[in-house]
Amino acid sequence: MTAWDAAYEAERDAAIVWRTRWAVLLCALCLVIACADVALARPASGALRLKFLGAFLALSTAVGLGTALPARHGAPRLLAVMFGVGIILTLDVYSLVIPHGVAITGASLSATVMGLAILVPWGPGLQTVVSVTAVAAYGGLWFFGSGDAPAFFSTVASSAIVAVVGASLFDRYRRASYVQAWQQERLAALAHDLGEQEHPTGVATRL
């Protein structure tokens, strides 16, 4: 691994940490809105919904606390993937116990995989893991005999594919931008060092 590769990976891990925190905060905001909806508009089904909202809260809290721990190499990516997969699996189970849940979850899973591809800079590899999980989880609804699953499966699958392609394009652009910025910083540092050399032999040595 070259020097700039190591620097890029470290910078990306740091970006994944605070982007994951953003995702946790967005999830917490959605939980507040969902709780208000349950309390004000749908109190009859509140008990069941609150259980699943509690599961989301537990997941968000665990991931949020995880981002506050000292980061090791690769740990931020694993934490972000766990968060994404946890959201997908919770939504999938939730769809089985609420009216029209399969249709709602199809749209939710599509938004989740697309949102994670845009928000978290983890590259196409980990995005593929999350996308495959979403497709497999939604496809598993067929196993439980849901009649609405086939109608929305193509939407989830298409969103998963687009998310992987988008993550790949984002990663290429981010890597190219980082390399260009890194080279500029190195050239600026070299120019500064050369400017401090008093003798031509010192300049030749630095070059």
Residue 179 pLDDT > 90, yes or no?
A: no
Quick one: which of 164, 114, 125 has its CA closest to 12? 125
Give the tokens for residue 12.
């990306």
Q: Which residues contact 96 (CB under 8 A, 6 or more apart)?
A: 102, 141, 144, 146
| CB contact at 8 A, 18 and 121 | no
Question: Which pLDDT tens digit goes with each residue over 105-135?
Answer: 888 889 999 989 988 888 899 999 999 999 9
**131 with 164: CB under 8 angstroms?**
yes
The answer to whether the pTM exceeds 0.85 is: no
Q: What is the Cα–Cα distance from 9 to 121, expressed in whole angstroms?
A: 11
pLDDT-based confidence at residue 146 (cuts at 50, 70, 90): low
- The 3-state secondary structure of the chain, one letter per residue: CCHHHHHHHHHHHHHHHHHHHHHHHHHHHHHHHHHHHHHHCCHHHHHHHHHHHHHHHHHHHHHHHHHCCCCCCCHHHHHHHHHHHHHHHHHHHHHCCCCCHHHHHHHHHHHHHHHHHHHCCCHHHHHHHHHHHHHHHHHHHHCCCCCCHHHHHHHHHHHHHHHHHHHHHHHHHHHHHHHHHHHHHHHHHHHHHHHCCCCHHHHHHHC
pLDDT (average), residues 57-69: 84
CA distance 150 to 160: 16
Q: Is 155 a residue whose pLDDT tops 60? A: yes
pLDDT value of position 43? 57
Angle CA 22–76–184, to nearest 5: 85
Token couple for 65 = 């606390």
